[in-house]
Amino acid sequence: MREYPFQQEFQVRDYECDMQGHVNHAVYLNYLEHCRHEFIKKLGLDYSELVRRGISLVIIRAEVDYKYSLRSGQHFVVGVILERVSPLRYRFIQDVYLLPEKKLVLRARVTGTGVSATGRPQLPQEISAALDKVS
């Protein structure tokens, strides 16, 4: 397991599993999103305040490579690394590991940007500065 600037632990809930007893593939996107939101909060950015100001942070691409299935009750951790892709885009490199074994469950690359209330790409300086601290 590599080093991450931010990690979030979770436990699989029964209702997140499909009929085969595995976590449904789409649920992993929720785990990844929650980890990103907590990471961004830790950096001092407030989603609610940004939205009030007409700025939305959005995902424009998500690539997920599934390696192993989680099951109800299992504990796992999501790690996140941030890299700048362009002046307006960042990529979150996110990995999920089963605990305590630290077995790789999935690898994801999630690209995001900011958009104004009119839908134009925009990443204000305060957001760039906060994200640049860890990228």
Residues forming beta bridges with residue 83, ordered by sequence position: 91
Residues forming beta bridges with residue 92, ordered by sequence position: 82, 110
Confidence of residue 134 (pLDDT cuts 50, 70, 90): confident
pTM above 0.75, yes or no: yes
> What are the pLDDT digits (tens) for 31-77?
999 999 999 999 999 888 888 988 899 999 999 999 999 999 999 99
Question: Residue 43 maps to which CATH number?
Answer: 3.10.129.10
The number of distinct structural domains making up the chain is: 1
Domain that holds residue 75: 6-132
> What are the pLDDT digits (tens) for 116-130?
889 899 988 888 888
Classify residue 93: in a domain, yes or no.
Answer: yes
What value does the mean pLDDT take over residues 8-27?
Answer: 97
Whether residue 135 has pLDDT greater than 80: no
